[in-house]
Amino acid sequence: MGRRGFGQIFYTPIHGQISDVRNPINFGFGDEMDDHYKILENTGDNAFLKNIKSFMYFNNSNYRNLLNWIESNDFQIFIMGHSCGLSDRTLLNTLFEHNNCKSIKIFYHQKDDGTDNFTELSQNISRHFNKKSMMREKVVDKSISKPLPQNVRYNSK
């Protein structure tokens, strides 16, 4: 955790890091709220659960550290470059519906033609809420959200 101007920033590579055997990359399915997940669970065949993110989270303390952090204080979520798709539904629901989450600010993609993906991102975010009234309270409206700058380019070697 670091201290920056107006609050604490918490960073944990919850989905792993390249070439880190103690924190391997965590790709998989993370929507245990989906009706189909229950079907997979009820088969009794662990092979179907191999790529479920929750089981990968048990390989280190990153998820537990995140839970401890969100319990410790109020926080705001900044969405930057994340689709907020269903592959992270369980995790995002835990964060978004937590009482300490005070707001969710979307940094959207502003396209060259003037269109943007703010509405699409807010619709994706809505799927992570069981309590829709809470969603309307927490998602920051577009007038105070900002486009995420796209002018940073990296030269390949």
Question: Which pairs from 29-38 meet CB under 8 Å and 24+ separation?
Answer: 29/53, 29/87, 30/54, 30/87, 30/88, 30/89, 30/90, 30/91, 31/86, 31/87, 31/88, 31/89, 31/90, 32/89, 32/90, 33/89, 33/90, 33/93, 34/86, 34/89
- Residue 3 within any structural domain of the chain: no
Same domain, 55 and 104: no
Range of the domain at 141: 75-150
Same domain, 42 and 88: no
Same domain, 110 and 66: no
79-106 pLDDT tens trace = 998 999 999 999 999 999 999 999 999 9
- The residue-averaged pLDDT of 132-153 equals 91
- Residue 5 within any structural domain of the chain: no
25-35 pLDDT tens trace = 888 889 999 99
Same domain, 90 and 65: no
Global confidence as pTM: 0.84
